[in-house]
Amino acid sequence: MEVKEINAENLTPREINSIVKDAAAEYDKIIIKNPNAKHYLAAGVTEDVEIEFDGSVGYFAGCMCDKPKIKINGNAGWFVGDNLTGGEVVVEGSAGDGAGQGIYDGFVVVKESVGSRTGEIMKNGTIIIGGNSGFMTGIFMMGGRIIILGDVGDDVAESIIRGVVYVRGSVKSLGYNAKFDEMTFQDSLELEEALSKYDFDIDDYSEFKKIVPKSTRPFYGH
């Protein structure tokens, strides 16, 4: 495996991203040292490459990417994995608001807790949160799935159109057009497949609550 190591300590986000994009076409893996919570890192990468951050990142890390496998060995700010169209972004720590906002495909995984509005306007793909998620998780969701292993705040799946939210912990309240549905054996199989891929060990998948839309046309009368 060809590995490129970048010391980001004295580089701007623009300089870091330029080096990453050039290296992504040549190397199999890129390790970024000292990211120091800088914003917009690994934005717009479209190569099939592994990118590992040795530390925490700021806002919009791994946004608008397709194909790369990004691992963040720390925490992430707001909107990690924003508008991902393929590949994966894995945060070993926690993240801020809007994790996985607008994703079209791929996986956004946060091993610990996140802020509010997780998966806002997502179209497809999978978001996994190992801890808690804040208010309006899944707001305006248009497809895909969100899996929360901890608790979730108010107005879950507010104005959801399509997709599904699974919550293992407590649900403070449901948003407009959201309802609970019965867990199926197929749901359990799909959850086990997704969660085991990222080393989440769950004994009983029947503990999850399943949240789906009441209607796919909630704004067009009754």
The pTM (predicted TM-score) of the whole model is 0.96
- Reported as a pLDDT band with limits 50, 70 and 90, residue 116 is very high
Q: Which residue has the higher pLDDT, 203 or 109?
A: 109
Q: Which of 186, 184, 194, 136 is closest to 160 using CA atoms?
A: 136
Q: What is the pLDDT of residue 220?
A: 67
Over residues 150-201, the pLDDT tens digits come to: 999 999 999 999 999 999 999 999 999 999 999 999 999 999 999 999 999 9
> Quick one: average pLDDT of 26-40?
98
Over residues 134-160, the pLDDT tens digits come to: 999 999 999 999 999 999 999 999 999
The residue with tokens 């924003």 is 82
What's the CA gap between 30 and 20, in Å, rounded? Answer: 7
Q: What is the pLDDT of residue 222?
A: 53
The conformation of residue 211, written as its DSSP 8-state character, comes to: E
| SS3 assignment for 135-168 | CCCCCCCEEEEEEECCCECCCECCCCCEEEEEEC
* Residue 1 confidence (pLDDT) above 60: yes
- Reported as a pLDDT band with limits 50, 70 and 90, residue 45 is very high
- Reported as a pLDDT band with limits 50, 70 and 90, residue 221 is low
